[in-house]
């Protein structure tokens, strides 16, 4: 099965799940509004990253939400969650989980996510 990427080029639809080993959920909960930032790593380690990891590292030089990463890489949200969680476990990215106060999300964080989504 093939899909189109908008440019008329065909790409396999199974590829996003192939890079996660078929997993569509991370090992732990990762909210779509979780902000991600990339860590500094040596150039020799950067050369060993997968294309998807490298793209996430580039995107997350400034804070990005998991939802933004999913949209910008054009991969399903579950795939983005798995990739980001795996990269966090490897020390490649830092997770900035939303802090809930009396069950309410942080208004500042929601405004940042909304602003990021508007830029898409």
**pLDDT per position as a tens digit, 67-101:** 999 999 988 888 999 999 999 999 999 999 876 65
Q: What is the 3-state secondary structure (H, E, C) of the chain?
A: CEEECCCCCEEECCHHHHCCCCCCCCCCCCCCCCEEEECCCCHHHHCCCCHHHHHHHHHCCCCEEHHHHHHHHCCCHHHHHHHHHHHHHCCCEEEECCCCECCECCHHHHHHHHHHHHHC
pLDDT at residue 3 greater than cutoff 70: no
**pLDDT per position as a tens digit, 19-52:** 777 777 788 888 888 999 999 988 888 889 998 9
pLDDT-derived band at 11 (thresholds 50, 70, 90) equals low
Domains of the chain: 24-99 (1.10.10)
> pTM for this one?
0.70
């Amino acid at each position: 099965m093939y899909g189109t990427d908008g440019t008329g080029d065909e790409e396999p639809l199974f590829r996003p799940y192939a890079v996660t080993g078929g997993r569509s959920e991370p090992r732990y909960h990762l909210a779509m509004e979780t902000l991600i930032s990339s860590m500094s790593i040596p150039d020799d380690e950067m050369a060993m990253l997968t294309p998807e990891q490298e793209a996430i590292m580039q995107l997350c030089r400034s804070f990005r939400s998991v939802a933004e990463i999913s949209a910008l890489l054009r991969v399903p949200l579950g795939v983005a969650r798995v990739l980001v969680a795996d990269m966090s476990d490897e020390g490649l990215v830092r997770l900035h989980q939303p802090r809930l106060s009396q069950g309410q999300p942080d208004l500042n964080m929601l405004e940042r996510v909304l602003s990021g989504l508007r830029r898409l």
